[in-house]
């Protein structure tokens, strides 16, 4: 069975949580995945089938990226492989909207940073999601998957939420979409506010799905990668 290679930018922030979420989603979909931790441009050499830009602190990510010009390589890779699915969460969404120069933005949005308040004003709220995500019926047994040099603990599996069920949105010093232009479209709403967008194979969220047990967005990523590889 072929192996999907999921690259995760390991610059800073909630990267290990994303790795575990991918492994978890792969079990739900019974897909084989390999997590490719991206630390230097060398890590992209064998190619990836999907990419995650985690949340955290985008300025810190830009700074930690400088040594190896990792973000530069990642955005070159995205532009050269427009079919690979990309999930950017929070700071990851900020980077997709404003990559380091000379790269042009990957999603046609304007974002303002830290617009929901400070760290202590972080909150959870139900988000309405409108994205084509496959549900699953898991019957197999769980196989431990290595992430780099370690094997994550298997987290308890959550029953598949129905597709229309609200998503548990975790907002931490989140940015706000202040302008969204075609072909970018809204896929997640917090009341009247857009908190997630999709443009072709790129999904950018201002919240953190990896900090919940709901794997819908990670299933979306893997499903897209799997279709792309067929």
User: How many angstroms separate the CA atoms of 55 and 205, rounded?
Assistant: 9
Closest CB 66 distance from ligand GLN, rounded Å: 16
Q: Work out which of 17, 43, 57, 73 binds ligand GLN, going by CB under 6 A.
A: 57
Burial grade of 178 (CB within 10 A; 0-12, 13-18, 19 or more): exposed
Which residues have a Cβ under 8 Å from the Cβ of 47 and sit 6 or more positions away? Answer: 5
User: How many angstroms separate the CA atoms of 28 and 137, rounded?
Assistant: 7
Burial grade of 42 (CB within 10 A; 0-12, 13-18, 19 or more): exposed
Q: Is 208 a catalytic residue?
A: yes
Query: How many C-alpha atoms does 101 have within 13 Å on its Cβ side?
Result: 0
Q: Is 210 a catalytic residue?
A: yes
Identified catalytic residue from 16, 18, 27, 208: 208
Closest CB 90 distance from ligand GLN, rounded Å: 3
Identified catalytic residue from 16, 18, 90, 218: 90
> Token match 């790269």: residue?
103
C-alpha angle 200-204-210 in degrees, rounded to nearest 5: 125
**Does residue number 172 form part of the binding site for ligand GLN (CB under 6 A)?**
yes
Which is closer to ligand GLN, CB of 22 or CB of 205? 205
Q: Work out which of 7, 56, 85, 169 binds ligand GLN, going by CB under 6 A.
A: 56
Which residue, 63, 64, 47, 85, is CA-closest to 10? Answer: 64
Which is closer to ligand GLN, CB of 58 or CB of 212? 58
User: How many angstroms separate the CA atoms of 228 and 200, rounded?
Assistant: 13
Q: Is 103 a catalytic residue?
A: no
By CB under 6 A, the residues from 68 to 97 that bind ligand GLN are 90-91, 94
156 contacts 146 by C-beta, under 8 angstroms: no
By CB under 6 A, the residues from 112 to 131 that bind ligand GLN are 113-114
Q: Work out which of 7, 55, 169, 196 binds ligand GLN, going by CB under 6 A.
A: 55
Closest CB 24 distance from ligand GLN, rounded Å: 20
**Does residue number 17 form part of the binding site for ligand GLN (CB under 6 A)?**
no
The region of 131-139, 167-175, 188-196, 215-223 touching ligand GLN under the rule CB under 6 A is 167-175
**Does residue number 103 form part of the binding site for ligand GLN (CB under 6 A)?**
no
Which residues have a catalytic role annotated?
A: 90, 208, 210
Chain positions contacting ligand GLN, by CB under 6 A: 55-58, 90-91, 94, 113-114, 172-173, 175
């Amino acid at each position: 069975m072929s192996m999907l290679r999921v690259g995760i930018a390991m610059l800073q922030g909630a990267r290990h949580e994303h790795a575990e979420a991918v492994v978890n989603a792969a079990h739900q979909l019974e897909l084989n995945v390999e997590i490719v931790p991206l630390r230097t441009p060398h890590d992209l050499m064998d190619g990836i089938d999907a990419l995650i830009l985690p949340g955290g602190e985008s300025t810190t990510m830009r700074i930690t990226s400088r040594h190896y010009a990792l973000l530069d390589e990642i955005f070159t890779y995205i532009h050269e492989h427009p079919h690979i699915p990309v999930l950017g969460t929070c700071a990851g969404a900020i980077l997709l909207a404003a990559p380091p120069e000379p790269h042009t933005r990957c999603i046609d949005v304007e974002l303002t940073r830290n617009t929901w308040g400070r760290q202590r004003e972080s909150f959870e709220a139900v988000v309405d999601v409108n994205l084509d995500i496959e549900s699953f019926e898991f019957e197999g047994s769980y196989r431990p998957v290595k992430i780099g040099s370690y094997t994550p603990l298997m987290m308890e599996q959550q029953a598949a939420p129905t597709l229309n069920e609200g998503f548990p949105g975790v907002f931490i010093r989140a940015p706000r979409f202040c302008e969204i232009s075609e072909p970018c479209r809204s896929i997640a709403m917090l009341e009247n506010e857009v908190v997630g967008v999709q443009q072709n194979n790129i999904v950018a969220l201002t919240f953190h799905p990896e900090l919940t047990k709901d794997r819908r967005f990670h299933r979306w990523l893997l499903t897209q990668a799997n279709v792309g590889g067929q």
